[in-house]
Structure 1
Amino acid sequence: MTKKKIVGHIAGADIRMLKIFRAVVSCGGFSAAESELNISRAAISLAISDLEQRLSLKLCNRGRSGFSLTDEGEQVYLATLQLLSSHQEFQRQINSIHSELKGDLDIGITDCLVTLPGMFITDSLKQLKARAPEVNINIEMIPAIDVIKATLDGRIQTGVAPVVGHNPNLRYIHLYDEQSHLYCSREHPLFHYTPDELSEELIAQCDVVFPSYQQSAEVKSHFQPFQKGAKASDREGVAFLILTGCYIGYLPTHFAQKWVDRGMMKPLQPERFNFVTPYAAITRKDLAPNLILANFLDVLQIQLQAA
């Protein structure tokens, strides 16, 4: 007579049934296993019957004579102990990998985001370092367009940049909506004008700082009233020129606030001259699985959900 063999592959539901089977055997029966498993005797009986059908084997005898394993049940029990032990060791090793993350996180960030009230990037890097003390964090401060390029060519694993358009090869996680106002310094003639004295026409006659970095069409429209001025490659350059007293210019409100608090700058008609820039964390869609990056994005999502 040909002996039956265990058939099929092991699925998640099988692991559960095998754990129930192990508990029944170790407890010596269905009734004794109820408190161990915290499920009813009927549920235990159903699980064992399902397991027997799954394996095409009779595993145990149950009835008035009590609980006992069949010969096949003895073999399956030994195999179950080996499988569940291997399963437990697999989980332990995976947890060990997560707890002993080593390597680099290369991240590119555009300028002047450190003063944002929602410190999602800072707090996420802090949490990543707590999870994985041996991870090396490398931050490169680069223009927004270079953040996109470096992410696409793999030079950095993730970046933070304004969303000017959506690249189909990138994945975006929205972080901030950055508010910008038009500012002048206290050295500028408009600084001493009252709100009633200021007019759009008067403001439009001033020299303005035109940013030379990439912008959306909506942001560009806010510079159309102005005809002359200087150029700056980043927001810090804009601030330098505004502080000369020769120019007005747009700055993020969080970045300009330190000068406003010190009486060195003020916004000009903020209800009229303002715009919002969305910022996102970006990653390449086809990037190979990376546990360090996955952990960083995980803590970043936690920060965003808690905000």
Structure 2
Amino acid sequence: MAQRRSTPMGQPGDADLRLLRIYRKVVECGGFSAAEVELGISRAAISMAMNDLETRLGLRLCQRGRSGFSLTDEGAEVFEATLQLLASVEGFRTRVNGLHARLKGELNIGITDNLVTMPDMHITHALSALKERGPDVHINIRMIPPSDIELAVLDGRLHTGVIPDLKTLPGLNYLSLYEEASRLYCSDEHPLFAEETVDEAALSRHDAVVPAYAQTPEIKGVHEPLRAAASASDREGIAFLILSGRYLGYLPTHYAARWVRDGRMRALNPERWHYHTHYSAITRKGAPPNLVLECYLKQLAADLNTRWR
């Protein structure tokens, strides 16, 4: 028989909570036999658990034997306290899980310029889903060059970024997003606008604008036949110079589409003068857990999977 404790009980631990949950079920079922099915453990295991609990508490909780099962006065009080304690534990768990459900905080994201016109709007859809999931999330977008995005993600100033796949850094994770097609364009005011085909000899007679930002060796090779007479730090700058009617230049097809549709630009010999650029979402390896970022990346991956099926 368990003896009354002469000193107060210490802080309940996981083992105590397990014993109390067994005790609650035994009392609710009215005995060991009925609780055996509910708990999925043997009557011997239940009896051992009750003995351990009585020893831990230093109290006799119930009478069990041929005369049946009944609670002692102390057992009834412990049962009431058990219900309160387990309800508090469950309330704590529910409240913490609720914090996960109600996203709060910031998402700091860096994006390379002029991706908003991409037909596959993976970023836009993921941001929309994130905002629906967490109305209180504050989204901060910075439109900056790819190298600045990489540095900002690596040092923690940005949570994530979207950049062209120019090189792979060991400190970053990459999630493939887009394949962007680019073609060589001139405006409707350029002498080549009416030409059916354009070869290298024709290109060499006309000024062109080339990108001042980093490119892969393959893309640099595509620009070599051009007579570089101007440069631009982004695609918008290239578009300005093409629309002047004085320059040729490469633009992404999705970005040039508005001017092509209006008859203000055309692609020159697109079967020959074109290239592709791959874009990825990047995050820092080993970054601290961030529920907002995790939710955004999950939504981004879900949108990618939906559109690839």
Q: Same-fold call, TM > 0.5?
A: yes
Which structure has the bigger radius of gyration? 2
1:306 and 2:306 correspond: yes
* Rounded Cα–Cα distance in structure 2 between residues aligned with 1:269 and 1:98: 53
Specify every segment of 5 or more residues in structure 2 that has no aligned partner in the other structure, as ranges: 4-8, 55-61
State the SS of the aligned residue for 2:305. Answer: helix
Q: Please list the CA deviations of residues 42-99 of structure 1 after superposition, one character each: whole Å capped at 9, or x if unmatched.
A: 685447766777898499999998777899x989977864664344223322233234
SS at match of 2:260: helix
Provide closer, same or farther for how the CA distance between residues 206 and 64 of structure 1 changes in structure 2, counting only shifts above 3 A. Answer: farther
Using the alignment, how far apart are the partners of 1:48 and 1:208 within structure 2? 87
1:281–1:191 CA distance, 2 compared to 1 (3 A) = same
- Between the aligned partners of 1:55 and 1:209, the Cα distance in structure 2 is 83
Query: SS where residue 238 of structure 2 aligns?
Result: helix
Alignment-derived partner of residue 264 in structure 2: 264
| Cα pair 1:20 1:47 within 8 Å, conserved | no
For the aligned residue pairs, the C-alpha RMSD in angstroms reads 3.8
**1:117-136 to 2 correspondences below 5 Å:** 117-136=119-138
User: Residues of 1 paired with 2:19 and 2:207: CA distance?
Assistant: 76
Count of residues in correspondence between the two structures = 294
Q: 1:231 and 1:241 mapped to 2: Cα distance?
A: 9
Task: Tell me the TM-score normalized by structure 1.
Answer: 0.77
Change (3 A) 1:46 1:204: farther
In the other structure, the counterpart of 2:103 is 101
Alignment match, 1:202: 202
TM-score (norm 2): 0.77
Matched, 1:219 2:219: yes
Q: Distance in 2 between matches of 1:251 and 1:290?
A: 36
Is the 8 Å Cα contact of residues 17 and 51 (structure 1) preserved in structure 2?
A: no
Residue of structure 2 equivalent to 1:164: 166
Choose from 156, 177, 180 the match for 1:178.
180
Unaligned runs of 5+ in 1: 34-40
SS of residue paired to 1:166: coil
Secondary structure at the counterpart of residue 228 of structure 1: strand
Whole-angstrom distance in 1 between the partners of 2:85 and 2:44: 20
Distance 1:49 1:274 in 2: 77
Q: Please name the residue that 2:288 is paired with.
A: 288
Bigger mean CA offset, 184-193 vs 129-138 = 129-138
Q: How does 1:1-307 map to 2 (within 5 A)?
A: 10=14, 22-23=24-25, 25-28=27-30, 44-46=39-41, 57=52, 81=83, 84-194=86-196, 197-307=197-307
Is residue 17–residue 48 contact of structure 1 (8 Å, CA) maintained in 2?
Answer: no
Distance 2:176 2:48 in 1: 49
SS at match of 2:151: helix
Question: Quick check: 1:30–1:45 contact (8 Å CA) kept in 2?
Answer: no
Query: Is the 1:18–1:51 contact (alpha carbons within 8 Å) kept by the matching residues of 2?
Result: no
Deviations 1:245-291 (A, max 9, x none): 21111111111111111111111222222222111221212322222
Describe the shift of the 1:140–1:69 C-alpha distance in structure 2 as closer, same or farther (beyond 3 A): same
The answer on whether the counterparts of 2:179 and 2:278 sit within 8 Å (CA) in structure 1 is yes
What SS does structure 1 have at the residue aligned with 2:304?
helix
Aligned to 2:57: none
SS for the counterpart of 2:251 is: strand
Paired residue type of 2:189? E
**Residues 32, 47 of structure 2: 8 Å contact kept:** no
Secondary structure at the counterpart of residue 119 of structure 2: coil
Counterpart of 1:134, as a letter, is D
CA distance in 2, matches of 1:177, 1:30: 65
Alpha-carbon distance in 2 for matches of 1:184, 1:31: 87
Change (3 A) 1:47 1:147: farther
Match of 2:179, SS state, is: strand
Q: Secondary structure at the match of 1:282?
A: strand
Is this contact kept in 1: 2:209–2:249, CA < 8 A?
Answer: yes
What secondary structure, in the 3-state scheme, does the structure 1 residue paired with 2:271 have?
Answer: coil
